[in-house]
Structures are given as C-alpha cells and as structure tokens.
Structure 1
Amino acid sequence: MNADNRTDDCGAALTAREVCHILREVTFERRVMAKAGDQSWDEIHAGLFVVIVDGWRITIYNDCDVLDYCEACVCPEGRRWSFDNGDRYGTDPIALLSTWEHGTLERLLKRL
C-alpha cells in the first residue's frame, strides 16, 4: 500500500475491487454518474476527468478520448484508493471491468 492509500480514522483503504463495483453499477444503470467540473470528456481530450457517483468522487484518466485508467477515488466515508505505477496489472479498477463494461463506461463518460 502506498502513502496515498493510508487512512486516518476512516477505516481501511478502498480496494480496486470496491471502486470497480461502483463503476460496474454505473454501466448497468444502477447508479447515476455526473461530471464534477465544467469541461466535458471531449473538451479535456487528454487529462484527468472527475465524476461523482452517489457521493463517490472518482478521478479517471482520459487519454486522447479513450478511457485509460482510474487515478483515484474517495468514497462518501472518506476512504481512499489511488493509482500507483508500481501496482500489479489488474489492480486498476478500470482494468477489472469486462470489455463490454469498459466500452459502456467510456460511452457514458463521453455523454457527460
């Protein structure tokens, strides 16, 4: 666990699977996603894009209009997860999505 994943009084750090579950819920329309800033996915083109899903603040990297990876997440209780370049493959919440879920999430992000 890196320093960004440490917690104070909020309990254990979030896991990639917990964040993936929230993103998966969005793809099945069980949760609503809204952009946190003024810029659209297309306007950012390459950079960080922040969304809010039922109080979860999720930061996603837009790589030239392609959904790349999850940079960070903070749940409503304050628990955190953040990307670390040293993490093994499959520990990024986006990488845990199926091909269909990944494509669906990318389409939903482009509509925001």
Structure 2
Amino acid sequence: MACGSITVQADGWVLTLCNENGALDHCIRCSSPDGRTYLFDACQPYGTNPVVFLSTWEHAQLLRLLGVA
C-alpha cells in the first residue's frame, strides 16, 4: 500500500499516520510518552488501527492541522 506518511508530536506522543489520497487512512506507528509502541500490521484481522478510535471532532481537527481537510 502506498501512502504519504505524516509524523506529528503532541503531549509526548509521536504518531506516524498514512495520508492515502488526501484522507487519513491509518496509523503506521504510535509511541506514548512512557515508551509503549504500536506498529501497524496489515495482517492483523481484528481492526486494531488506533485512527478508528478518534472521535469525529478529533479526526476533523487532526485533518485540519495536517492541512488535509
């Protein structure tokens, strides 16, 4: 899957997100301030993509800040 990656930092969190055709598609990597890390796994069948847990408002704000929306 080809995507343009965008890395953002907020409150100690570091997120690398995939911008697929102008839409926020999925989280490639996410690191918390305490060192926990999430890595995207396309083979994971259970929908563990953290982007889906964003509220509608959070998603819209992130897109606005990233200049995608």
- TM (norm. structure 1) is 0.50
Query: How does 1:43-54 map onto structure 2 within 5 Å?
Result: 46-54=3-11
Contact 1:90-1:96 within 8 A present in 2 as well: no
Higher relative contact order (CA 8 A, sep 6+): 1
Runs of 4 or more off by more than 3 Å in structure 1? Answer: 98-101
CA deviation digits over 1:84-104, x for unaligned, max 9? 001235310112234444333
Q: Give aligned pairs, total.
A: 66
Unaligned ranges ≥5, structure 1: 1-45
Are residue 104 (structure 1) and residue 66 (structure 2) matched? no
CA deviation digits over 1:6-40, x for unaligned, max 9? xxxxxxxxxxxxxxxxxxxxxxxxxxxxxxxxxxx
Higher strand share: 2
Unaligned ranges ≥5, structure 2: none
Identity of aligned residues (%): 45
CA RMSD of aligned residues (A): 2.0
Residues 104 and 90 from structure 1, CA distance in 2 versus in 1: closer, same or farther, beyond 3 angstroms? farther
Higher helix share: 1
Cα separation, 1, equivalents of 2:37 and 2:59: 22
Residue type of the alignment partner of 1:52: Q
